[in-house]
Structure 1
Amino acid sequence: MTGAGVDTFELAPGYVMSRVLRGGWQLAGGHGEVERERAVDDMAAFLDAGVTTFDCADIYTGVEEMIGLFRERLRRERGEAALAGLKVHTKYVPDWSTLGSLRRADVEAIIDRSLRRLGAERLDLVQFHWWNYAAPGMAETAGVLVDLQQAGKIHLLGGTNFDRARTADLLDAGYPLASMQVQYSLLDARPENGLAALAAERGFSLIAYGSLAGGFLSSRWLGRPEPTGPFENRGHTKYKLIIDDFGGWELFQDLLGVLDRIAGRHGVGIPAVATRYVLEKPQVAGVIVGARYADRLGETLEAFRFALDAEDHAAIAAVLARRTGPGGDTFALERDRNGKHGRIMKYELNKD
């Protein structure tokens, strides 16, 4: 379905989300200075453009509160009905140190905190994450979330960064999984190593993040020498590692060159091509595009002005055939706390 120039997707019966989601990670700090008032004001531009679904998390410092402030302004200035079309996806990400010792009251307290921060009576979608598969209590914690859903505090339940086997475990335990949020891009095809097939088999959708690789998939980096760091934000630190796994800077430049030619054919920018590529993947409900402000909103919406044709796909495939990684299941590299991906993760952010 299409509305206001942005495609939509029915994630569950009667639950319609925009296929581009306004991401909130860049508002959480570590990505450059954030002008709070400007960021909240600009949320209206996304909503009015048809980007009706926002993504955030309990561990994105200050972001649930900012969206809550926007919801209150929207209610005050446009009336209660204006909130009906806005969907806010958040997460439940217990700290590493609490895994194995979580009580029902602990889980409910975090969900209640998200409700207060967002100024909502019910959370639209809660995406569950579990840092350490070896820690006991994952199934029990998921069960508490199901209980809270049945109590009316949560509409839909999803997950984030689970691999194929653990996603199957959640489903087999009766967790009503609507979606799994995963890193998925031209540079990172790990969801294709089993999770996407499971989604098709078991009837849940994928929501992709990292599809622009923290801004690396843009003309800004075309023809540039390889950066060595330190980087200006957390996203560049994270996604430069993915580029290294993909095949290195030279292959990445070859990919950017192909994307630039495709973008020129369709009269759009490289980010639109990168976003479109993921949107056209089977089982993908939507793509999260991170933004502090609305200054690049028009560039984001270009993804809905065209479709990739056979010539485009062939050119992209020729480059991807030379990639060397990243390999393995979804988020497996990041779960190794001693590896280069795991060492940059922050595991203890769910504090008041």
Structure 2
Amino acid sequence: MIDRIALAPSLTISRALTGLWQIADMERDGRTLDLDAAARAMAPYHQAGLTTFDMADHYGSAEIVAGRFRRAVVGDAATVQCLTKWVPEPGPVTAADVRAAVDKACQRLQTDTIDLLQFHAWTFADPRWLDALWLLEGEREAGRLRAVGVTNFDTAHLRVAMASGIRLVSNQVSGSLIDRRFTGKLSAFAQQHGVGLLCYGTVLGGFLSERWVDAPEPDWAQLETWSQMKYGRFIRAAGGWAPFQQVLRAAQQVATRHGVSIATVASRWVLEQPGVAGVIVGARLSHSQHVADTARLFSFALDDADRTMLAEAQAALWPIPGDCGDEYRTPPYLTASGDLSHHLASFPAPFTTQPGVNGSTLALSGTVWEPMAGYSRAVRKGSRIHVSGTTATHGSRAIGGNDAAAQTHFCIDKIAGALQSLGGTLEDVVRTRVFVANVERDWEAVARAHGERFGHILPANTMVQAPLIGDEYLVEIEAEADLGAP
């Protein structure tokens, strides 16, 4: 019996989701895919109770294949759950952009209502990612989306979104025996706020399988699939082939005990972690079927001896750096290509810039306060950038609600956006000043959020209590950066 879980009042999914991202891999280099045959290949999953499929706007023909299956193969489309993603390029987002994205997904999936639309933001330094989520909320309220989720969000920005009143039901992130980042802060926050984690990469593109036990280290430059290229980077980031083999052999012993495959043990371990709503197991439709193996996820449970054996092997691994999703936003980029070149051409400046007086350059964020009070979000002169006192404001909206940590993260995002617009980064910051409206209540939350973002930089810092303009603001931060010699 396949376990199921309710992500939203009108959306119940299988806890084992079939991932269709490899359709893009099967179509690369000009190859064509028989879409009808691929649609028919979804039927065994559905018949086994694996009724939930995960895809995206950029997974080649995945949405088209799923749409054909829903209508032509199944007939009763309500028995299939199609979870897709919208991954726009960074920059301004309009209501027309969001409507067009939803229209396209509906057309390809042959439906009037999308079960779950998951949003990916390439950068949080550009606050317009929040515009996209608010507009998606409007599509949900209009009945075009049953639910809204996100993908590859770290804990801080999931917090910002939720504290700003955006109703998210899921966050899709990497999770495996090797990549355990999701078990930390993100898991605790997700459980507290009712956000289901959907974990992909649970079998590391096939590396967590019998094929690789005691096998020699592969030639990393000659791998077969994009999945292997990507997760090969995870293996190397976790310490390399030797500690990976320790985990693989431990998983093999557990698998033998339960009469299942290594891949099934690997996915079961992720599925049993707190906060995980489901695991996404990739499928190469019409090529390799793993229906029975995936269904066996629900035929057993790990016991204390299993968990101890796996944990002892995992102790030799290095932690994957950063929080969930950082592999798409900061080096080292743990992507198939090792950078973002196959995803994006460039990042537009988050804020408008213009010449100032005496050779300075100004960055303007567009808040109502700047023209009224006669100041800039930031000013660059020479190698120095001075960022004005920054509150959690985006346009006319206050961000972060009553959550001081969420407000702090958004303030720092705006500072990062101002610096980026003027040619700098957070790593160039040499001083911050933090003004807190209620030090007794909020100092620790603000300080910890500041520490998360600046802990690797360690600028000079001062925190003081000060009344702020606007009762909705809990914190204000200013910064100074030095880009060094030209």
Give the alignment partner of residue 287 of structure 1, picking from 260, 270, 279.
279
- The equivalent residue for 2:329 is 335
Report the more deviating stretch, 296-305 or 214-223: 296-305
| Partner amino acid, structure 2, of 1:42 | A
Q: Pick from 196, 212, 215: which aligns with 2:203?
A: 212
Matched, 1:63 2:62: yes
Distance 1:319 1:127 in 2: 34
Q: Which moved more, 1:245-254 or 1:121-130?
A: 245-254
2:22 aligns with one of 16, 20, 26: 26
Given residue 268 of structure 2, which amino acid in structure 1 is its aligned partner?
Answer: R
Write the mapping of 1:264-343 to structure 2, written as runs, cut at 5 A. 264-293=256-285, 295-336=289-330, 339=333, 341=335, 343=339
Instruction: Report the secondary structure of 1:9's partner residue.
Output: strand
**Matched residue SS, 2:135:** helix
- The share of aligned pairs that are identical, in percent, is 38
In the aligned structure 2, how far is the partner of 1:35 from the partner of 1:300? 24
Q: Distance in 2 between matches of 1:275 and 1:45?
A: 20
Structure whose residues are more often helix by fraction:
1
Q: Which stretch has the larger CA shift, 13-22 or 158-167?
A: 13-22
Distance change in 2, residues 1:279/1:262 (3 Å)? same
What residue identity is the alignment partner of 1:177? L
Residue 74 of structure 1 and its aligned partner are, at CA, apart by: 3.0
Q: 1:49 to 1:31 in 2, by over 3 A?
A: same
The answer on whether the counterparts of 2:113 and 2:146 sit within 8 Å (CA) in structure 1 is yes
Amino acid at match of 2:44: A
Amino acid corresponding to residue 317 of structure 1 in structure 2 = A
Pick closer, same or farther for the CA change 1:345–1:269 going to 2, 3 Å.
Answer: farther
Number of the residue aligned with 1:200? 191
Do 1:217 and 1:270's aligned partners in 2 also have CA atoms closer than 8 Å? yes
Q: Is 1:255–2:251 an aligned residue pair? A: no
Higher relative contact order (CA 8 A, sep 6+): 1
Mapping 1:209-248, distance limit 5 Å: 209-228=200-219, 229-248=221-240
Could you tell me how far 1:345 is from its partner in structure 2?
5.9
Inter-partner Cα distance in structure 1 for 2:283 and 2:189: 30
Deviation at 1:266, TM superposition (A): 0.6
Q: CA deviation at 1:340?
A: 5.7
Q: Is the 8 A contact 2:264 2:294 kept in 1?
A: yes
Q: Which structure has the greater CA radius of gyration?
A: 2
Deviation at 1:245, TM superposition (A): 1.4
- Matched to 1:206, the amino acid is L
The alignment status of 1:191 with 2:194, answered yes or no, reads no
Residue 94 of structure 2 aligns with which residue?
103
Cα deviation, 1:64-87, whole Å, max 9, x if unaligned, reads 011111112135xxx4xx222211
CA contact (8 A) 2:118 2:148 kept: yes
Q: 2-side partners of 1:182 and 1:124: how far apart?
A: 19
Q: Secondary structure at the match of 2:124?
A: coil
TM-score by length of 1: 0.91
Distance (Å, rounded) in 1 between the aligned partners of 2:333 and 2:263? 29
Kept in 2, the 8 Å contact 1:206–1:284? The answer is: yes
CA contact (8 A) 2:98 2:132 kept: yes
Q: Partners of 1:345 and 1:310 in 2: how far apart?
A: 43
Q: Any unmatched runs of 5+ in structure 2?
A: 346-486
How far apart are 1:211 and its partner, in Å? 0.4
Match of 1:10 in 2: 6
Segments of 4+ moved more than 4 angstroms: 30-35, 337-342
Question: For the Cα contact (< 8 Å) 1:238–1:344, is it kept in 2?
Answer: no
- CA positional deviation for 1:50: 0.3
Q: Secondary structure at the match of 1:224?
A: coil
